């Protein structure tokens, strides 16, 4: 139910202007020009890249259910929310995701925390050998450093850490389900965490519902962790927030722009298609407001696109292009991306 409602919220935001796959690519965090620009057009930052592992099969099952319950409908390859669907989300609590800034990195925080708690719990029981849930060497390395800096074998550190977790979980923005998921996914001495399937069973819910609420829980908590309030948890946040949320390829393109090359030159140098470099520009502009775009589009042209979009209440490229045939699709996309930022 929860995941379906989340889908309804997202479909509602897409405003009937995208296909039923658009929410899928958004949740997976697809790094294509289309998905990235949509994030800005439709103000979908919170939901970007929430669950890269989402499979098409799982997703299609949920969409089919929504369709057959008449909560959404499909018209000419576009997906709409119905009145009934709107009714479902009207009373829904606002979701508190922060996908754009975190990009899945909340799981790195979680893995560090999981290993920290597992270690402290075992050491408190005087058991210094255990099999860690986390297998990644980078996580081991980080947590070892973290614990060694903190005199973790002292009797006080474990309780101090627990108190911080208690306080963190008192956060009034959390629901009871969030707290439950958080603590029952953790493992300790003679207390293994529960699997998603076990939690879903316990809550009479589905695995996807559990996973998405868990992610929401992490997003809520991470935004609350400050160095003053939670000094130790804050240390586990190191390098979690994305500084340059660009793909590697777009980063390279961006560097070449800084050196003064044109789109065509960059495409040639990198053996890439022009389209791809244009996608990069959209991505760069989404991430960086101050990126100069006036070599691609004049301010008059930009304003014209925004006016048409506003007047016709649409962000469909085709319709806008019909009313501004002198502009390329790239220019229109650029204008819409920039426009959202100017206003948003």
Partner 1 sequence: MDKLTEVLHSKFGYTSFREGQKEVIEQVLARQDVVAILPTGMGKSLLYQLPAYFMDGTVIVISPLLSLMQDQVEQLKMMGEKRVIAINSFLSYDQKEIVLRNLAVYKFIFTSPEMLQNERFNKALSAIPIAYIVADEAHCISQWGFDFRPDYLRISKSLKNVKDVPVLALTATATKNVVEDIKSTLLMKSPFEYIHSLDRTSIAYEAREVENQQEKIAWIFGRITSTRGPGILYTQSRKKTEFYAEELRNRGIRVAFYHAKMDQDDRILIQQQFQQGQLDWICATNAFGMGIHKGDIRQVIHDHIPTSIASYMQEVGRAARDGKQSIASIIYSSSDVEQAFYVAMQDFPGEPDIRLTYQHQLEGMELQLPETTARILNYWKEELTEQETIHLFQNIKQKKWVEIQSLYTMLQNEVCVREQLLHYFDEQLLERPVHCCSKCGLHIQDIFQMDKEQKIEKIELNWKNRLNSLLL
Using alpha carbons, select from 91, 20, 99, 17 the residue that is nearest to residue 62. Answer: 20
CA distances from 268 to 47, 81, 261, 279, 283 (A): 34, 43, 11, 15, 19
Contacts of 336 (CB under 8 A, 6+ apart): 37, 40, 41, 305, 306, 309, 315
Return the range that interacts with partner 1 (CB under 8 A); candidates 70-78, 177-185, 278-286, 298-306. 177-185
Sole binder of partner 1 in the list 169, 240, 319, 324 (CB under 8 A): 169
**Of the two residues 122 and 315, which places its CB atom closer to partner 1 in the complex?**
122
Contact flag: residue 275 with partner 1 (CB under 8 A): no
Chain residues 111-130 in contact with partner 1, contact rule CB under 8 A? 117, 120-121, 124, 129-130
**Of the two residues 63 and 199, which places its CB atom closer to partner 1 in the complex?**
199
CB of 188 to partner 1, least distance (A): 4
**Of the two residues 9 and 139, which places its CB atom closer to partner 1 in the complex?**
139
Give the integer Cα–Cα distance in Å for 338 and 344: 10
Contacts of 211 (CB under 8 A, 6+ apart): 51, 196
Sole binder of partner 1 in the list 57, 76, 83, 176 (CB under 8 A): 176
What's the angle, vertex CA 22, arms to CA 246 and CA 292, rounded to 5? 35
Total residues at interface with partner 1 (CB under 8 A): 39
CA distances from 297 to 45, 61, 167, 243 (A): 25, 42, 51, 27
**Of the two residues 197 and 341, which places its CB atom closer to partner 1 in the complex?**
197
Using alpha carbons, select from 116, 119, 22 the residue that is nearest to residue 63. Answer: 22
Contact 243, 251 (CB under 8 A): no
Sole binder of partner 1 in the list 34, 45, 193, 251 (CB under 8 A): 193
CB burial of 248-264 (b: ≥16 within 10 Å; e: otherwise) equals ebbebbbebbeeebebe
CB of 170 to partner 1, least distance (A): 10
Chain residues 39-68 in contact with partner 1, contact rule CB under 8 A? none
**Of the two residues 47 and 182, which places its CB atom closer to partner 1 in the complex?**
182
CB of 192 to partner 1, least distance (A): 4
Contacts of 302 (CB under 8 A, 6+ apart): 293, 334, 335, 338, 339
Contacts of 314 (CB under 8 A, 6+ apart): 17, 320
Return the range that interacts with partner 1 (CB under 8 A); candidates 81-89, 151-159, 238-246, 260-268. 151-159
Helix H or strand E segment including 231: helix 231-235
Contact flag: residue 187 with partner 1 (CB under 8 A): yes
Token code pair at residue 26: 């958004």
**Of the two residues 37 and 119, which places its CB atom closer to partner 1 in the complex?**
119
CB of 177 to partner 1, least distance (A): 10
Contact flag: residue 158 with partner 1 (CB under 8 A): yes
Contact flag: residue 82 with partner 1 (CB under 8 A): no
Sole binder of partner 1 in the list 75, 93, 190, 259 (CB under 8 A): 190
Contact flag: residue 104 with partner 1 (CB under 8 A): no
**Of the two residues 174 and 256, which places its CB atom closer to partner 1 in the complex?**
174
Return the range that interacts with partner 1 (CB under 8 A); candidates 59-67, 176-184, 239-247, 309-317. 176-184
CB burial of 15-30 (b: ≥16 within 10 Å; e: otherwise) equals bebbebebbbbbbbbb
Sole binder of partner 1 in the list 74, 149, 191, 307 (CB under 8 A): 191
* Residue ranges in contact with partner 1 by CB under 8 A: 117, 120-121, 124, 129-133, 135, 137-138, 155, 158-159, 161-162, 165-166, 169, 176, 179-180, 182-184, 186-188, 190-198, 202
């Amino acid at each position: 139910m929860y995941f379906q409602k989340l889908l309804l919220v997202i479909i509602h935001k897409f405003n009937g202007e995208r296909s039923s796959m658009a929410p899928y690519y958004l949740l997976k965090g697809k790094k294509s020009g289309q998905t990235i620009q949509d994030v800005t057009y439709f103000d979908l930052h919170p939901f970007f890249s929430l669950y890269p592992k989402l499979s098409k099969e799982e997703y299609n099952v949920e969409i089919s259910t929504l369709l057959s319950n008449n909560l959404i409908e499909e018209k000419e390859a576009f997906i709409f929310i119905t009145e009934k669907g709107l009714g479902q989300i009207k009373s829904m609590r606002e979701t508190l995701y922060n996908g754009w800034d975190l990009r899945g990195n909340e799981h790195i925080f979680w893995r560090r925390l999981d290993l920290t708690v597992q270690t402290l719990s075992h050491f408190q029981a005087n058991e210094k050998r255990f099999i860690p849930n986390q297998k990644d060497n980078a996580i081991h390395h980080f947590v070892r450093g973290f614990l060694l800096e903190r005199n973790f074998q002292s009797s006080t550190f474990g309780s101090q850490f627990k108190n911080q977790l208690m306080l963190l979980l008192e956060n009034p923005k959390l629901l009871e389900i969030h707290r439950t998921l958080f603590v029952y996914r953790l493992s300790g001495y003679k207390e293994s965490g529960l699997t998603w399937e076990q939690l879903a069973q316990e809550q009479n819910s589905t695995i996807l519902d559990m996973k998405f609420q868990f992610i929401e829980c992490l997003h809520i908590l991470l935004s609350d962790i400050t160095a003053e309030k939670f000094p130790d948890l804050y240390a586990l946040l190191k390098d979690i927030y994305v500084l340059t949320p660009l793909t590697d390829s777009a980063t390279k393109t961006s560097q070449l722009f800084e050196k003064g090359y044109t789109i065509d030159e960059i495409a040639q140098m990198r053996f890439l298609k022009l389209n791809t470099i244009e996608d990069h520009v959209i991505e760069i502009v989404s991430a960086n407001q101050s990126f100069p775009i006036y070599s691609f589009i004049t301010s008059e042209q930009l304003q014209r696109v925004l006016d048409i979009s506003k007047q016709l209440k649409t962000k469909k490229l085709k319709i806008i292009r019909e009313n501004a045939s002198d502009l390329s699709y790239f220019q229109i996309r650029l204008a819409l991306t920039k426009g959202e930022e100017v206003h948003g």
